[in-house]
Copies of this chain bind each other. A is one copy, B any other.
Amino acid sequence: MSDHTVSSSSSFQRPSGRTPGQLREVSLELGYTRYAEGSVLIRQGHTHVLCNASVLDQVPPFLKGQGSGWVTAEYGMLPRSTHTRSSREAARGKQSGRTQEIQRLIGRSLRAVFDLDTLGERTIQIDCDVLQADGGTRCASITGAWVAAALAVRGLVDNGVLARSPLLDHVAAVSVGLYQQHPVLDLDYVEDSGCGADINVVMTGAGQFVELQGTAEGQNFGRTDLNRALDLAEQGITQLVAMQKQALEQ
């Protein structure tokens, strides 16, 4: 991958040494596991998420018999994906509020670019499992999940199950933060911990918002801050969408 840098005149220094608008190194490894209809390992810096898409011949009860399909996601972190070990959700007996929040977000983001009628009465079930976490796992999950879903969809079209793709557009996500008042793109864990505000942006290939989740963390922020941060996010997502395209073309 050549150059994800966005030029910046600022003398201010990010902990990661990246320029404010610079993404981490991103790679998309297709076919990482053998059995899923679509399997992608996305690496964004030290954040590694395995995204598997399964095609299931069933839909949730509320959709039965309506000819429409469904796209949904589950998310998990391996206990030792992080700097210190977290307890295993399966052993604790429930998913945390954070986990549920993230998997609902991934599902909504994917559905925003799916024509569920064209998909027909089947479910694309996405599993995003974080093997290694260095910040930005929810955004990396969305970017990777889209590629896994696209692979699964391609299989359905290639096998003649679907006459045409139900995918309407790309979707990708990135975080932006305010670090010492400066907007910065694609926070790693250290930067995230030090940021006054954290904004996760999910956009389509056409540059429309799908989701926008901004949280002040220690420092509330104004309209100007928001606008500068969204400018960076748009640039980052444009790059991520380009990488998704490139990965699928190989």
Contacts and interface: CB of A to CB of B under 8 A. Distances in A.
B104 A101 contact: yes
Given A95-B91, A230-B223, A210 B216 contact: yes
A84 B80 CA distance: 26
Interface in A191-250: 197, 199, 204, 206-216, 220-223, 226, 230
A93 interface: yes
A68 interface: no
Contacts of A99: 90
Interface string A68-82: 000000101011111
A61 to B, nearest CB: 14
Number of copies: 6
A64 interface: no
Interface stretch (A8-16, A19-27, A127-135, A179-187): A127-135
A143 interface: no
Contacts of A50: 78, 131
Interface residues of A, number: 62
Given A108-B215, A230-B223, A78 B52 contact: yes
A207 to B, nearest CB: 7
Contacts of A95: 90-91
Contact of A74 (B39, B91, B93): B91
B212 A213 contact: yes
A112 interface: yes
A68 to B, nearest CB: 13
A209 B226 contact: yes
Contact of A101 (B74, B97, B199, B210): B97
Contacts of A36: 80, 85
A62 interface: no
Contacts of A18: none
A52 B80 contact: yes
Contacts of A97: 97, 100-101, 103-104
A171 to B, nearest CB: 9
29 contacts: A34-B132, A35-B132, A36-B85, A39-B80, A50-B78, A52-B79, A56-B85, A74-B79, A76-B88, A78-B129, A80-B127, A89-B90, A90-B90, A90-B99, A91-B95, A93-B93, A97-B104, A100-B100, A112-B220, A197-B209, A199-B212, A207-B222, A209-B216, A209-B221, A209-B226, A211-B213, A211-B215, A212-B214, A213-B214
